[in-house]
Amino acid sequence: MAKYSVELKRSAVKELEAIPQKTIRQRIVRRIRALATELRPPGCEKLTGQDRYRVRQGNYRIVYEIEDDALTVIIVKIGHRSDVYR
């Protein structure tokens, strides 16, 4: 399988920067980088009614889309589990 490129929407970058603890931010970044090689890791779930997936990292969720034709993973949203789906 080919390696995908990972892109973050501008809003997702702002959400990532807003996370207060540096260690949590670093874990999320590692998880995002891992999506380049493993698009649907264990624990990944497809969101109902959308062509998006989510992966958990502690109390935070990473919502992303996969564009197979462009070999790209687009990070749409990063947030705490209590309000990421709103």
Going from N- to C-terminal start, the domains of the chain cover 5-80
2 — pLDDT class (breaks 50, 70, 90): confident
Assigned token pair, 67: 């564009």
Helix (H) or strand (E) run with residue 38 in it: none
* Chain mean position to CA 49: 18
3-state SS assignment for residue 4: coil
pLDDT at residue 1, as a whole number = 63
Q: Over the stretch 28-83, which tens digit does the pLDDT of each residue have?
A: 999 999 999 999 999 999 999 999 999 999 999 999 999 999 999 999 999 999 99
Give the number of other CB atoms < 10 A from CB of residue 42. 6
pLDDT at residue 86, as a whole number = 84
pTM (whole model) above 0.85: yes
For 5-80, which CATH class? alpha beta
